[in-house]
Amino acid sequence: MTIPNKSEDKSRQPRKELTLEMLAHLTLLNLSSYYLEANPEKSQEDFIQEFLNPIGNDDSATGDSFLEQFKHIQETDKSANLKHASMVISLAYCLQSMQAYKTNERELAWSYMADARYWCGVTLASKGIEDARQKTIVATKKDTSKNANEASHAKDRQVKEEAFKLAREKCPKNKKWSSRLAAAGKIESDVQEYAEKIKNPLSKTRAKATISGWLREMPDAASLFEKVERQRKPK
């Protein structure tokens, strides 16, 4: 049996025009499309070789038997991978329906097709649920990362504000700091101690330079630090 192309999708046909054969083709199209979306590295030939042909060639493979088998596995092994369970059940019922149709067992064929369409719906719904789950995971990771970054920036601001406070408190009386770097050297150990206290330690090799850079941003920097002009190099 071959898988119909998407151009053969009969899902848009009015309900009254859908025959058993159309439903069989629609079911196979739905299941193969699900399989390919769930396994991007696979091909339609893989679907045929791994599922369609083995089930179609096994007289003992029925929707009921697969359903019982998967139920047993679920009850005895919670870690078992049942990713394609509903797809296999739907496929088995669909093939049973077509076989019953060939032997003119119309009522039985329609009964099997009803089960095939039900489990096909379960299969497609599981894909939607998985997509939603993955989107939720991605969104959660983004939110977690965003919150972590915001928390980190908040602690950086706390340490910076502490450096500003210490620069004001330890400034020599009636005079200014000779330079921001000099001030950073005097308050470095206290800033480091505070940073470690709030679990946001500074790099020991870069702490002095970092603090000096922060002091440049102080709104009252002009009243705290001597303005050091860079000497111009002779031309």
Residue ranges covered by each domain of the chain: 6-137, 170-224
Tally of CB atoms within 10 A around 166: 20
Using CA atoms of 106, 108, 113, 116 in order, give the dihedral in degrees to the nearest 10: -160
Using CA atoms of 50, 56, 58, 60 in order, give the dihedral in degrees to the nearest 10: 120
Nearest-10 crossing angle of helices 106-169, 63-76: 30
Per DSSP, the three-state class of 163 is: helix
Nearest-10 crossing angle of helices 180-197, 207-215: 110
Nearest-10 crossing angle of helices 20-38, 106-169: 30
Paired tokens of 92: 């088995």
Which pLDDT tens digits describe the chain residue by residue (235 residues)?
Answer: 556 565 555 455 454 567 899 999 999 999 998 898 888 898 989 999 999 999 999 988 899 999 999 888 888 887 777 888 999 999 999 999 999 999 999 999 999 999 999 999 888 887 654 454 455 545 555 655 555 566 667 888 888 899 999 989 888 888 889 889 999 899 999 999 999 988 888 888 888 899 999 998 888 888 888 875 444 444 4
Contact (Cβ atoms closer than 8 angstroms) between residue 115 and residue 93: yes
Tokens 């002779």, located at residue: 234
